[in-house]
Amino acid sequence: VPDYDAGRIEKKWMRIWDDENLFALNENSARPKRYVLEMFPYPSGDLHMGHVRNYTIGDAMARAARMRGFDVLHPIGFDAFGLPAENAAIKHRTQAAAWTYRNMECALATMRRMGFSYDMDRLQQTCSPEYYRWGQWIFEKLWERGLVYRKKSPVNWCPGCKTVLANEQVVNGRCWRCDSLPERRDLEQWYFRITEYADELLADLDKLPGWPERVKQMQANWIGRSEGADIDFILCDSDGEPDPDQRITVFTTRADTLFGCTFFLLSPEYDGLIDLVEGTSWEAGVRAVIEGAQRVSAVERAQGTLEKHGAFTGRYVVNPVSGQRVPVWVADYIVSDYGTGAVMAVPCGDQRDFEFARKYDLPIVPIILSDEDRLALEESGESIDTYNGESVDWDRAHTAEGTLVQSGKYTGLRGGKHSEGEAAIVADLEDAGVCRRKVEYRLRDWLISRQRYWGNPIPAIHCAHCGIVPVPVDELPVVLPEDLDLGAGETLASHPEFYETTCPICGEPARRETDTMDTFTCSSWYYLRYCDPHNTDLPFSRAAASRWMPVDNYVGGIEHAILHLLYSRFFTKALRDIGLLDIDEPFENLLTQGMVKDEHGEVMSKSVGNVIAPATVIEPYGADTLRLAILFIAPSEKDFSWDANAVEGANRFLRRAWRVVWRLSRDAGEDALSATCSSLDKSSLDDAALALLRERHRAIAKCTADFDRHQFNTAISAVMELVRAASAWVGSKGRRDPALCGLIATDIVSVLAPICPFWADELWHEALGHAADVYSAPWPAFDPEEAASDTVEIAVQVMGKLRTRSVVPSGATNEEMRLAAEHAARKWIADKTVVKAIVVPGRLVNLIVR
Ligand code: ANZ
Ligand code: ZN
């Protein structure tokens, strides 16, 4: 048996796969399609372990799908624009393009070294003009359709990245990239009208049973659909007299709480707020709140976790149901871009209002009784009609639903979101003409302009006569100059060669837009370009997209649960409406892989300095060992902590399996080549061989099902069992049927091929004698009846140490398993007493002896 020399084998096969261009898509429309995609990397340097895990999972899926008879599209590319390239260029006085291309080369070399089966002919690099040209083209299509607009509004400015951010990019109140606290600035910016699709983006989550619930929940929360009503309040003049001509409208989901509204709030940005206080003694206080609010980002303010600030305006509004006058305040936790920017405050029912009322000593009137309190009230003989809440000692708002009290004719109705009380009050106010049903979304339009250089230029021209006009389509792309000296402070806006142009309409000198697009626009449609990578007329043809889309298996990190996945879903829907696509959703199934942590459970990161470079594992052990260890160590969705022992173990297993396959193939001789389970003559097999054959059917059945569920760790366990059984059989004295030897050797190599492709191809050719590659070999078939055999083999441990195995009926009880185990392990128990048996049904018994 030759040695397993991973270094030599892997180099050999890398070359052969390249020479044969093995992973180029070889379409055969008779086969069903499968599109397997991993989220493409940002080329910030070499690949890290997180990438390696991501791409190993995807590669195992793609290779298995190919063996299962699919035409598999499995491409790769780079999300190549972005700030790190600029920062590196400034620091090292190089060019962002050079830095980026160098990193991409480096990452590509590692991908090749890992044996990832990408169709390199489809490689996309978003910073190349061939790619970003179509990003600009799509931008103009969206513009034509009214999905692009400019607006001046308060935006999140990241002082670290020196650019504005989309709301989605402010994560937990901080910049998603550099963790700085964003500042508020009033700027005119470019937006994509994603809110136009809010309803559909929410509703279509139901069309995605193949997505993790957690991700769908995060998207639903982000979109944040709220059913409520707009209600008008009459404003009193400065003498406190109601003026029916002046109204302020609020959006509320809780009209049922109107009787508990004891004050009224305006956001600091509220239009006309200053008019209310100008020249009064209240002006200074209100202005102080306005100024304070400007120092904090809207996202943070809306979270409601900050200390609240407010000031009385000196004015009152009239509660439309009770007729009561309530004071109008300005409060910094009210944001301007939700609802109407005005709120009816209900301190007994809303925690933020409660805290505000406590701080400023505003009244709190309880109007909702929890079911518990109501029972207590009734038991004490009191009626809810006379209840006045005097005895309540409030320490926080009552947000639960309950019974309305102190609410006029609505007392006794159910209160809460979507409650009968809410419906009754809204209906009456609608009749009175002061209320309208309304649906609000938390989702805001996507701010896509960035004041940065290394991105896709926005294809627009500012003309003094014609306004803002698109660059004519036949002049696309607007090419990003690559020779800027960023280190010397050059930007697109300081580069006349870039921005000086003429207006395409009137021909007068005009100025090119110098903002670039958010890089998330580049990653919102790359999966479509892969379907038709060389199209020079369109970003992709409809035919190619309908052949390949949607992506069947998308693999990536949970950190993209909102940003990238939401934007891509929006692009897909918008491109559909433009007539370029005929699907609603881009990603049919989503696998969010877990994180890679170090041995102490910390996420690996450059800043912590605890990364393990893939090369440090590949060099001593080989890529196959790394791939196997990564897939075996934990289920794909789970985080795992790096474990050097797992790498050792994976390598030991590959060596053992290598020896077993060689020995089986020797005994099989010529039979190895043609081995299939249907060609086997069972009548010639002895009992040991039949037992192994049953084990084989079980292992293949389990592997097949586990691969389908992408449960690679348990699939690998099943192969390990088979290798163990085969190894015992090979080492035993009995007769070995050549056809069975061939079959088992073929099976072991086949099912490990998606995981350890170099190892498998070497054995496939050298040990088993095939001429074609294992990647295009068929997946082993199994007999479901044999696989479902009515006995199972269990492991028997004594004091946690594996001693032997035993066969029990598959439905054996714990007691039956224990008896079988004690019998099988009698020579290790000998004169000791079994004090306890730990039973894992169907798998294992651990006997504790004394
Ligand atoms: C009265 C009330 C009583 C409210 C109560 C809530 C609870 P969701 O459900 O998330 O959509 N609101 C409206 N506009 C706001 C703004 N611009 N800034 C801050 N808060 C605003 O939240 C809807 C509720 O958020 C609305 O219903 C309003 O407070 C508040 F027991 O009105 B509610
Ligand atoms: Zn013009």
CA angle, 186 then 184 then 222, to 5°:
105
Nearest CA to ligand 1 atom 19: 334
Q: Which ligand lies nearest to the CA atom of residue 470 in the structure?
A: 2
8 Å CB contact between 337 and 306: no
Q: Whose CA is nearest to atom 31 of ligand 1?
A: 349
* Residue having the nearest C-alpha atom to atom 20 of ligand 1: 334
Dihedral, CA atoms, 34, 40, 46, 51, nearest 10 degrees? -60
Residue 839 Cβ inside 6 Å of ligand 1? The answer reads no
What local confidence, expressed as pLDDT, does residue 551 receive?
A: 98
Sheet with 183-192, strands from edge to edge, namely 163-165, 148-158, 183-192, 446-447
Residue 349 CB–ligand 1 contact under 6 Å: yes
Tokens found for residue 611? 């990364």
CA distance 113 to 124: 19
pLDDT at 267 over 90: yes
Query: For ligand 1, is residue 367 a contact (CB within 6 Å)?
Result: no
Is the alpha carbon torsion for 828, 831, 836, 839 positive or negative?
positive
Q: Is 570 left (phi over 0), alpha (psi -120 to 50) or beta?
A: alpha
Instruction: Assess contact for 362 and 356: CB atoms under 8 A.
Output: yes
Convert the pLDDT of each residue in 810-826 to its tens digit: 778 888 899 889 988 98
3-class SS string, 83-116: HHHHHHHHHHCCCHHHHHHHHHHHHHHHHHHHCC
CA of residue 301 to ligand 1 center, whole Å: 14
Question: What's the gap between Cα 153 and its chain centre?
Answer: 29
> How remote is the CA of residue 502 from the centroid of ligand 2, in Å?
8
Q: Can you read off the two tokens belonging to residue 197?
A: 């699709």
69-117 residue pLDDT tens: 999 999 999 999 998 898 888 888 889 999 999 999 999 999 999 999 9
What pLDDT score was predicted for residue 789?
67
What average pLDDT does range 596-622 have in this prediction? 90
Ligand minimally distant from the alpha carbon of residue 506? 2
Binding site listing for ATP:
606
Q: Please determine, for residue 300, whether its predicted confidence score (pLDDT) is greater than 80.
A: no
3-state secondary structure of 539: coil
Give the span between the Cα atoms of 182 and 174, in whole angstroms: 6
Percentage of the residues of the chain whose pLDDT score is greater than 70 = 99
Q: Hunting for tokens 């009734």 — which residue is that?
A: 378
Question: Among residues 448, 456, 493, 453, which one has the least CA distance to residue 86?
Answer: 453
CA angle, corner 599, sides to 593 and 601, nearest 5? 60
- Please name which of 132, 222, 146, 134 lies closest in space to residue 191, comparing C-alpha atoms: 146
Rounded-to-integer distance, Cα 469 and Cα 482, Å: 25
Tell me if 75 sits within 8 A of 37, measured CB to CB: yes
The phi, psi pair for 521, rounded to 5°, reads -70, -35
Residue nearest atom 32 in ligand 1 by C-alpha distance: 252
Q: What is the mean pLDDT of residues 131-159?
A: 95
pLDDT at 488: 83
Predicted complex ipTM: 0.97
Q: Which atom of ligand 1 is nearest to the CA of 257?
A: 3
pTM of the model: 0.87
Residue of 230, 232, 252 to test ligand 1 pocket, by largest number of atoms within 8 Å of CB = 252
579 C-alpha to ligand 2 centroid (Å): 30
The CA-based diameter of the chain, rounded to the nearest angstrom, is 108
Between the CA of 225 and the centroid of ligand 1 the distance, in Å, is 12
What is the mean predicted confidence (pLDDT) over 756-772?
A: 95
- The band of 692, judged by pLDDT with boundaries at 50, 70 and 90, is very high
Higher pLDDT, 163 or 57: 57
Q: Give residue-wise pLDDT tens across range 643-677.
A: 999 999 999 999 999 999 999 999 988 876 777 77
| pLDDT for 383 | 87
Cβ of residue 347 lying under 6 Å from some atom of ligand 1: no
Using CA atoms, how far residue 703 sits from 163, 429, 706, 709, in Å, is 50, 63, 5, 10
Mean pLDDT lowest among 52-61, 132-141, 290-299, 568-577: 290-299
Average pLDDT value over all residues in the chain: 93
pLDDT in tens, 441-471: 999 999 999 999 999 999 999 999 999 999 9
Contacts of 99 (CB under 8 A, 6+ apart): 85, 88, 89, 92
Ligand 2 centroid, distance to 471 Cα (angstroms): 11
Among 5-19, 52-66, 159-173, which is the least confidently predicted range?
159-173
For residues 623 and 758, what is the distance between their CA atoms, to the nearest angstrom?
A: 8
Phi, psi (5° rounding) for residue 36?
A: -110, 125
pLDDT digits (tens, 9 = 90+) for 387-443: 887 777 778 888 889 999 999 999 999 999 999 999 999 999 999 999 999 999 999
pLDDT, position 299:
66
Task: Assign 611 to helix, strand or coil.
Answer: coil
> For 483, phi and psi rounded to 5 degrees?
-105, 25
